[in-house]
Structures are given as C-alpha cells and as structure tokens.
C-alpha cells in the first residue's frame, strides 16, 4: 500500500481555501482559543449570576442571563501584517454571546416600559451607570435597592404624566367652552428658578392673553402670567387716567 507523503510546503484545502501548513495551524489554534474563551466566559457569568442571587436578586424579575455558546461560520483575519503572514479565511467555530442584564421599569417617551440595563462586575462589586447615575462599583445588595428605587420612580413619573395630561386636557376644554373665540395653545416657558415648564395660554383677538400653569398635586390650574394689550398701548397720561378711576382698596 502506497502512503501519501505530504510536502511541508504543500497547500491544503480548508473551507474552500488553499492553506499552507502554517496557516492550517493558525486556524486550528484560533478554533481552540475561541472554544476555550467561550467556556471561560460562561463559567465567569455563572459565578456572577450566583453572586447576584446570593445578594437577593431574583432571576427573571431583577435580572436575566442571555449568555449562550453557539457555532458560527465567519470570515476572520489571522496572521500578522508586518511580516506578510496575514490572511483571511472562513472558519466555523464556537462563540459565546449575551450576558447578564438587570431588569426594571423605565419612563421613556411618555411611556412606562419594561427595560434591561447593563451591569459590570469587578470581583464582588458591581456597577450599573444608568441605575446609579455614576460609575462607582458598589455592593450587589446596594445596587438591588437602587434598582427598586429606579423602577418606582419610573412608575411615579408615569402616573404624574397621566395626571398632567388629563388636567391639561380638562383645562383646555374648560376655557374653549368659556371663550370659544380665543386661541388656546400649550407653550414651553422657562425661568431661572423653575427651569422649563409648560403653560396653557388663552389668547384673545385683541392680543391680550392669560397663561396658566398646571398643579397636578391639587388637580387644578393657577394664573402664571397675564398680558393686557390695551393697557400696553397706553401712554403715561392714559394710564394715569385709567388708574385714577379704579376703586380704592378696602
């Protein structure tokens, strides 16, 4: 029986690509390393999941683990450019994807929705910038409390939005019925002390207007600003004459 002797410089076929012996070794090493990396990542994530459970997190309620190892076929670049050993080849190998994410509520685009949030691990400490609003690593139990506070705040913001929307609609309907010839608009105003806020403006044909702010706590509107177009046109003599005819204060 004749045994085929392989020339060390002979090209082999791998995934439809002719490879040298050295390239074939690089491919085998890549597949081996990817499998090992996926295994180590999965083991580390299992440890992190246990850390969370041990600190009060409930799987499926407070966090999820989407890590999985799957077989993929992709083009990869191996070798080095500087010594002309670089080459591209399509390889089928194992790869890990996904990981641990926090679960909670968030108020976004005027909606209350279920959401996931990133979490990073450093030994027995964790970090979730969105939940914490900083980048410090803290105890898992502390993060759990912050996650609960974050979700409750999202619910409060949503309820506040619903109350404000309902009150806004009621105020618009009220003044539309009382003064059908006015123009009623919702505007954004700003002050140094209050920041940005909404007002409902009831504007008359004369140019005079009244602006109301919404008080969702007491479920009513209150006067924020008024403008009298006729008074604004008066000169000092006309103003003095007008004021002289006003009734005296009690």
pLDDT digits (tens, 9 = 90+) for 200-223: 999 999 999 999 999 999 999 999
CA 21 to CA 28: how far, in whole Å?
11
| pLDDT of 1 higher than 70 | no
Q: Is residue 121 part of a domain?
A: yes
Residue 39 domain-assigned?
yes
Domain presence at residue 171: no
| Whole-angstrom distance, CA of residue 113 vs CA of residue 106 | 6
Is residue 60 situated within a structural domain?
Answer: yes
Task: Give a yes or no: residue 5 inside a domain.
Answer: no
Please tell me whether residues 106 and 35 are part of one structural domain: no
Answer with the one of 72, 98, 124 that is the final residue of a domain: 98
- What is the reported pLDDT for 14? 53
The verdict on 45 and 94 lying in the same domain is: yes
Average pLDDT over residues 153-157: 97
Q: Model confidence at 6, in pLDDT bands (50, 70, 90)?
A: very low
The CB density around residue 191, as the number of other CB atoms within 10 Å, is 9
In a domain, 66, yes or no: yes
Going from the C-alpha of 70 to that of each of 94, 127, 134, the distances in angstroms are 6, 28, 34
3-state secondary structure 60-81: CCCEEECCEEEEEEEEEEECCC
Is residue 223 domain-shared with residue 193, that is, in the same domain?
A: yes
Phi, psi for 25 (deg, rounded to 5): -65, -40
pLDDT at position 15 is 52
For 42-73, the pLDDT digits (tens) are 999 999 999 999 999 999 999 999 999 999 99
What is the rounded average pLDDT of the residues 158-175?
Answer: 97
Q: Is the pLDDT of residue 88 over 80?
A: yes
How many domains does the structure of the chain reveal?
3
Share of the chain above pLDDT 90, in %: 85
Residue at a domain's end among 127, 145, 166:
166
Scanning 92-227, the segments in alpha helix (DSSP H) are 129-132, 140-178
Q: Containing H/E element for 185?
A: strand 183-191
Q: What is the dihedral of CA 158, 163, 164, 168, to 10 degrees?
A: 140
Work out the average pLDDT over 122-150: 97
38, 88: one domain: yes
Strand pairing partners for 152?
none
Domain interval for residue 223 = 179-243
Q: Is residue 2 part of a domain?
A: no
The pLDDT value recorded for residue 16 is 58
Tell me: pLDDT of 12 over 80: no
Is residue 106 classed exposed, middle or buried when 0-12, 13-18 and 19+ CB atoms within 10 A define those classes?
Answer: buried
Mean pLDDT over residues 6-17, rounded?
A: 49
Q: Which residue has the higher pLDDT, 212 or 10?
A: 212
Cα-Cα-Cα-Cα torsion 24, 29, 31, 37, nearest 10 degrees, comes to -170
Question: What per-residue confidence (pLDDT) applies to 194?
Answer: 83
Do residues 161 and 183 share a domain?
Answer: no
Contacts of 133 (CB under 8 A, 6+ apart): none
């Amino acid at each position: 029986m004749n045994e085929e002797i392989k020339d060390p410089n002979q090209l082999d076929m791998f995934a439809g690509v002719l490879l040298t012996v050295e390239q074939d070794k690089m491919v085998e090493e890549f597949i081996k390393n990817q499998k090992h990396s996926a295994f180590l990542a999965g083991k580390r994530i299992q440890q992190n999941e246990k850390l969370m459970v041990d600190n009060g997190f409930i799987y499926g309620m407070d966090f999820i683990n989407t890590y999985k190892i799957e077989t993929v076929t992709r083009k990869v670049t191996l070798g080095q450019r500087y010594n002309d050993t670089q080459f591209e080849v399509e390889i089928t190998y194992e790869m890990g994807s996904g990981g641990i994410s926090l679960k909670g509520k968030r108020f976004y685009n005027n909606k209350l929705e279920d959401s996931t949030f990133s979490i990073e691990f450093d030994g027995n400490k964790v970090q979730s910038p969105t939940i914490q609003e900083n980048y410090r690593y803290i105890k898992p139990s502390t993060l759990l409390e912050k996650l609960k506070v974050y979700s409750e705040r999202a619910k409060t913001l949503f309820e506040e939005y619903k109350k404000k929307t309902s009150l806004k609609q009621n105020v618009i309907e009220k003044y539309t019925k009382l003064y059908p010839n006015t123009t009623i608009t919702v505007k954004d105003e700003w002050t140094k002390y209050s920041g940005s806020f909404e007002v409902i403006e009831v504007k008359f044909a004369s140019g005079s207007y009244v602006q109301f702010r919404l008080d969702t706590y007491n479920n009513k509107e209150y006067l924020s600003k008024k403008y009298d177009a006729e008074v604004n046109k008066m000169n000092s003599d006309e103003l003095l004459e007008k004021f002289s005819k006003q009734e005296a204060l009690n």
